[in-house]
Chain A
Amino acid sequence: MDISSVRRRLAPFAVAGAAVLVLAACGSGNDPENTAAEEGSDSESLSGSVVVDGSSTVFPLTSAAAELFAAEQPDVQVSVGQSGTGGGFEKFCVGETDISDASRAIADDEIAMCEENGVTHDEFSIANDGLTVVVNAENGWATCLTVEQLNAIWAPDSTIANWNEVDPSFPDEPLVLAGPGTDSGTFDYFTDAINGEEGASRTDYQASEDDNVIVQAVQGSAGAMGYFGYSYYEENAESLKALEIDGGGGCVAPSAETVQDGSYAPLGRQLFIYPSAEALERPEVEGFVRFYIENIDEIVQAAGFIGLNDEQKTTLSDQFDALLGG
Chain B
Amino acid sequence: MTDDQVDKVLEKASGATPEVDPALLKRIADSINMSLRPVRPLPPPWALTGGLALICAVVAVAAAARAGFYGVEKLSLWERALIFSTLGILVWVTGKELVGQLTPGSRQNFSGTSLLATISASLLGVFALVFHDYRTDHFISAGIACLLTGVLLAVPAAFLSWLLLRRGFAVNSVAAGLVGGALAGLCGVTMLELHCSNFQALHVLVWHIAVVPVSAAAGAFAASTLRRP
Bound together: no
